[in-house]
Each structure stands twice: as C-alpha cells, then as structure tokens.
Amino acid sequence: MILDYYCTDHEIVCCRVCISNEHRLCQNVLPLELASKDVRKSALLNDVMEDMTHLITTLHALDNNRQSNLQSIEKTKSIITKQIRAVKTKFLKQIDDLERELTTSLSSLQRKHEMEINKQKQEISQVLVNVKENKNEMDFLRDNGSKNQLFIFLRQQVTNIHCAETKIQQIVSDSQEFDITFDEKKDVKLESLGSLLEIVQPCQVQYKQRKCQQAQINAEPKKRIVGFERDTVLKLNTDVIEGLFSVSVTDNNKLLITNAASSDPKLYVYRDCKDYETEIRFSSAPFCVAVIPGTDRAVITIPSEGSIQFINTTTMTKSVKVNMGFRCIGITAGRDRIYVGGKGGTIKALDTNGKILKTIRQISKDIYIMVYNDLQDHLIVRCVGKLLCVKLDGTLVYSKDVSGTGGVTLDRQKNIYVVGFYTSIIQRMSSDGENCEEMLNKDNDIDDPYGMCFNNDFTKLFVINNDGKSVCVYKCK
C-alpha cells in the first residue's frame, strides 16, 4: 500500500490499512500532502540536517582520532625499538666491563703466583749450586787428596748436608701448587630487557546527542553554603577511640569511618549517618575510604600491605583485595575510575574493578588525602604542608601552602574545603585556588581535625575531630 498518511500522535508515516487497524483512536492523523506542506521550510528539516551534520562531524573526528592513534602507535614502536637497542647496548657494555674485570683479576693472580714461585726457584738454585760445588770438591779429594784431607772434608759435609736438608724442608713446606680455574656461572641468563606497559585510556572524542545538548534548561541555582552551625557529636559504638582517619558517605546514606589504629583496624558503619549499624575488621589498619558513585561499592587503602580492598556497601562485607605495588594511603573515585596515591607522590589510575590502567608520577611528596573534582577532571591532592591541584595526566594546575596534613572535600559548587591540622581551622577555597576564607575554627570546637565529608544533599558536614577521637557534625547554612 502507498504511504499517504501521517499520525502525529505516534510520529509515524502509514497507509490506509494501518490507519484502520492501528490508528483508529488517534485524533491527529493527517494526509501526507497536508503533513508535508512547507517541509522545506520546517524545523524538522533543519533538525535532521543538523543532526546529520553533527553525526558526520563526530564520525570524522572519530576517524581522525583512530588514524592519529595508529600513527602514535607506529611512532611509539620506533621510539621503543630505539630504547630496546639502547638497553641492549647497555647490557653489552656491562658484559664487556665484566670481561675486562675478570681478565684484569686473572693477570693479577698470575703475577702474584709467578713472583712467589720465582722466589722459591732462586732459593732452590742457590742450594743446588752449593751442593754441586761440595760434591765436585769431594770427588776431587776422593781421587787425588790424602786420607786426612778427605776425612776433614767429609766431616764438614755432614754439617753442610744437614743445613741443606733443613733449607730444602723449609722450601718444601713453603711451596704450594698454584692453579687458576674459571668458575662459570651456570645460571647466567638474560630473561628480559624490560617490559611493555599497555596504557588504556578513554577515547578523547565524545559523542553527545545534539538534541540533548540543546535541551538543557536553566536549572534552579544550587544553594551556596554561607556558614556552619554546630549540631552534635556522633555517638560512637565504643568507649576507646583513637586513630579515626577518613570519613565518607555512601549512595544509600551510610557513614563510613576508618580507624587507622593498628590495635583496632576497623571500618565503622552508621546508617542514616547517625545510628551504629556494624563494623568491619581488617588484617591491617585501613586509612582512607572512598565511595564509588552510582554503585554499592566502596574501596579502602591498607598502606602496610601496599593494597586496596573493595567493600560491598549493601551487605557491608569485604570483597576483592588488589596489590598496588607501593605504600598507598590516599584514594578517591569517580563513576568509571579510581585514583590511588601514596609513597613518593605516586598516583595510579584504576578501573572500577581494580585493574591498574596507568601510573602518574609528577608529585614529589607522599600523598595522604585525595579527592576527585568530576566537573573539571582534576585531582585535589594533600601532601605534608601542601595542597595541589593536578590534571589527570599529572600536570600541576596550582600548589598552595597549608597546615600539616588533613582532610579535603568539595561542596556542590566544587569549592575546596581544607583542614588545617595544626591551626585547627577549616578553610574554603575556590576551585581555581584563588579565593580562600575561614569557615570553622576553635570557636566552633574544631580541635586537631582530620578527615571530613558532606552528606549527599550537602546539609551536613562530618569532621573527624580531637586528633582522631571523635566525629563532629555541623549543619550547613
């Protein structure tokens, strides 16, 4: 059948049969001639043309990106090939150096033993000459001398022979048979010149539907926090607490608090951010905890084991443990990446299953606290005396002097809240690091604070206070 009708209710072109069978109740069925009137001037034509142009532009960009990636891999292959040859040359030079060292040692041993043996040969020659001279003189006296002369000479030779025997015994006792052998190392083998690290990153070309981009509406402005009001102190399910380190809130509104004291290595869990629910014990002290947004999982760092461990935030049970290969302390997470920092300023990027994707080494100091700014794709990193803003490729955006080490968190507008451990002050800094103001201090009972975080609707701020012995709650105004 000919398609000669358009149902605006279902936005579909149809035929007469379809109208009678499937669109009898539709109120807006138009003849195709009427529906297509002025189509060349319609917004539909413009939208479809712009959508196609957007698709073509994105596909060209993707194709260029793939071609650029191919060229990059080819260029990288050439560079790595040269690096491998350089490593090979380095190994060959080391082998030559070892050969020269062994040859020098061989010559030195040879000279040492030659000198000792030649010295003994001289002593032997001297004794031999004396004995031969005495023997020749005795032969002469035996054939030509008188009995008296021969007798006197024989008596002299008894003494000479005794001296010669003593000398020979000394030479024999001092003599050693020297030999030099080469103990070839049986297990000498070169297994590898290095290893290849495959780095996987998301494609830089992103596709967003054009209509979705156009459909943005002016959302209601997010309320800015103007101050804080002291609320309460969290009632902890223990009498003795020391070493509280990090705090975070799950998507299902559970408060997670790590206890980094080696005597009590636990993660405390409070439902609705106020009532004790349970606790999880670890083999070693857990330091920092981060919730993976949009999931029922969190992840903690265990510095003494150089590992991280996943937590199911629904069942509150331990899950997979991943060895990071270095002492890791700070951790933060986005929807598709986990970032772990620690000893020597090392940062490693992982996927949300714990697979290590790449290593960033651009920070010189040890990293204690990290937070991810998903709006700007920046990492806010806390070292001793420093707050750093770092891009995901390790490039430093800015650096600020701060007091000691301590917690860092972000509000709705991505302003940065920074703990001053020694000053007992919490400051708010703009995301660009330019503006800074004091928000809480000792007048608000802040005393040696450390980890902190907001709840999910940014109505409360939780602060580990009193040098890790309590958790104070502040209302946001």
Q: Write the CB contacts of 12 (distance below 8 Å, at least 6 apart in sequence).
A: 6
Per DSSP, the three-state class of 70 is helix
Query: For 149-169, what is the mean pLDDT?
Result: 89
What's the pLDDT score for residue 198? Answer: 64
Per DSSP, the three-state class of 140 is helix
Residue for token digits 């030479």? 171
- Between 376 and 453, residue with greater pLDDT: 453
- What is the signed CA dihedral for 221, 206, 350, 310, rounded to 10 degrees? 50
Instruction: Kindly report the backbone phi and psi dihedral angles of residue 189, in degrees, each rounded to the nearest multiple of 5, phi listed first.
Output: -155, 140
Residue 185 scores a pLDDT above 90: no
Tokens of 435: 């503006």
* Residue 240 confidence class, pLDDT cut points 50, 70, 90: low
Domain positions in the chain are: 5-37, 69-174, 217-476
Residue 195 scores a pLDDT above 60: yes
The packing angle between helices 43-144 and 147-174, to 10°, is: 170
Q: Are strands 396-401 and 408-410 parallel, antiparallel or unpaired?
A: unpaired
Residue 187 scores a pLDDT above 80: no
Q: What is the pLDDT of residues 124-153, one digit of tens each?
A: 999 899 999 989 998 998 899 898 998 998
- What is the signed CA dihedral for 225, 228, 229, 230, rounded to 10 degrees? 140
DSSP state of 39: G
In angstroms, the CA 224 to CA 55 distance is 38
* Residue 217 confidence class, pLDDT cut points 50, 70, 90: very low
Query: For 103-122, what is the mean pLDDT?
Result: 90
Q: Are strands 328-333 and 386-391 parallel, antiparallel or unpaired?
A: unpaired
Bridge partners of residue 476, in order along the sequence: 228
* Residue 218 confidence class, pLDDT cut points 50, 70, 90: very low
The class level of CATH for 217-476 reads: mainly beta
